[in-house]
Structure 1
Amino acid sequence: MTTSPQYGFETLAIHAGNEPDPTTGAVVPPIYATSTYKQDGVGGLRNGYEYSRSANPTRTALEECLAAIEAGTRGFAFASGLAAEDTLMRSICKPGDHVVFPDDAYGGTFRLFSKVLSQWGIDMTPAAVTHPDAIRKAIRPGVTKVVWLETPTNPLLNVADIAIVAQIAHDAGALLVVDNTFASPYLQQPLELGADVVVHSTTKYMGGHSDVVGGALIVRDPELADKIAYHQNAIGAVAGPFDAWLVLRGIKTLGVRMDRHSDNAEKVVEYLQRHQSVTSVLYPGIDGHPGHETAAKQMKRYGGIVSFRVSGGEKQAIDICNKAEVWTLGESLGGVESLIEHPGKMTHASVAGTPLEVPGDLVRLSVGIETVDDLLHDLDRAMS
């Protein structure tokens, strides 16, 4: 089917890249478990396929779907979110370039920039990306090539105004990259707001079932797409066909899952706001949240991630995580099951002792799609 804007999100999520198999009529794309392809003579590729690092029909189906649901022109599927980020940076930067980076970013992304890309000569400056003046101050004229956003951020749920930051980046001759993992393309469309590149860990809401690891990049500019395509093939950290098939399957139900994640999260937030041990609840859907107005402007709803801080400090936060039963103690997020974790000791341990260190009294929830009363009862028991 065409990916015309006349189609709604859920229609694109189900049909884009999912043409019925021309041989059998199967409505689900096959898993092409092949490494190579018979060529029609020397140098004669059959429909563009020669070797599965360069292209695979299952991955092509996913990449077409990714482009459609993020309102881009080309999508690229990778073996992980960090593989996507690494490939992107090597596509658009060179040694000596500079990046403005969120001051509360995901620990794995911070590790990639601070420990790996730094050895390649990429410098970065953490900045409060919720404050435009802080971004302007962090930019180095002629040197800054990328402004990197997460919005909402992980794990503090801060919200940046994508349109404003896009203008700041472009005025400085830099690209705006937005990690849209927390929101998903169902809730937020960064390319429509001026971003140049959208990044996803498709492990999370895109896959949605905690059974696959993957990453994605989506762009609009054809020249930028060609650069990424070259490096995707040259570096080779591509999504395998089975992983691509799992993500493609997950995307079909993304819209209905995100609505249920958001429904449940809102009820969890209401419970936490009333609990005597909770000192603050971090969720963009709360009227008093500093990014609420921006989130209301650029997001359809506020998503399934909730963080909160407790009066008993780190010990109580860890105790809550350990006592939960319906909430599974585990890293990652965005699956159908609810997860609970202590960022300071788990997902964000790599930023301990840096300007990005997260509070020890912080608990992060990935609210799943279970019966919400069961989630509330279990949380109440763990916090008693």
Structure 2
Amino acid sequence: MNVRRSAAVLAAAVVIGGTATPAVAASPSPKPSLPSGLYGSGDPTYDGVWRQSYALIALHRVHENPPAAAVEWLAGQQCANGAFPAFRANPAKACDAKLMVDTNSTAAAAQALSAVGGHDSAVTEAVAWLKSVQNKDGGWGYAPGGASDANSTSVVIGALHTQDLSVPEVRVGTKSPYDALLKLSLPCADGGAFAYQPDKKGELRANADATAAAVVAASGRDLLTAKPDIRGELTCADAPDLTRTRAATNGAAYLAAAVAKDGYLKSALPGAENQPDYGNTADAVVALAVQGGTGAARKPLEWLKRNSAKWAEQNGPAAWAQLILAAEATGTDPRDFGGTDLVERLTATGPTPVSASQDDSGTSVWWMVGAGLAAGAGIGFLLSARNKRKQP
């Protein structure tokens, strides 16, 4: 999902007539003080949980242990009902009706806490809350009760995977999350893309950000498990009984065509149509790799290597994380991404990382080994790896 989409516009959405609509901007409030465990130096009001989750997920993908303070901060954002808001300035204060919780923050946090391990109950409660606010069409909107959209439904599907749930069986009546995504799939005459959600006239319009998210979800992958896979030629084909696999292929074909000329997706923001959209391009790389393999993602990946560092520097931890996920999904070394060490740059935006040469007590592991050898006694180390999530 695009970094911008997870910030002020969507996080400030309110539900009006069943549709998530950006709220009218209020007078600026005092900038909250930044918690020591938080990644990034920008105001976390609208994206604190989102960017923290992305940072932890990206670090997990590259086998880096995040600082305990970072994990504790994220876990402390959860409300008693299992949901997460975009940001809780005072976690010691119980969540109330005035605090807006949302599906995107909750689903991303569930995936992040599942990745780092040790928070099984928190993840279970988050997923239970998500299931409790599932819409009748099988999908989810950004805010509970809001109209289903492709991005929210896709990130929630990723959270369902943390519980090894069969997505088609997570239903409201006869409708599953995949049913909601298929309703947002466009025919090949319109490119085969996914729409974010129907517009005010009920029409579907191609949306690259929504398409990238939906392709990954419909392919059975998520933020934690996206990896290169060739599932057939990326061509669009209409079918009377559209399956999620066919819809994912159609969506990937749309993305491949969109990046074929310049290597990047263009911004959909008014007045910025000719500007590159770095975040959506990174997401498109993941989607193309998941559905069409590294070859399908090569051109936009190479473009990102050449051009994305300045953008990520300006946009912070979620941007660095998006690039790491793009690298990981294509089998690219994130520590040498066009000459940039993405892991180092992400790590620098957060609390001091755990040193690889220190154990949990702060005692140098190598000192222990040396002492043991000097004493002529062997020291055995039992290393238990973090529980791996089951691949979908």
Shorter-chain TM-score tier: under 0.3
Write 1 or 2 for the structure with the bigger share of helix: 2
Write 1 or 2 for the structure with the bigger share of strand: 1
Q: Please, what TM-score do these two structures have when normalized by structure 1? A: 0.26
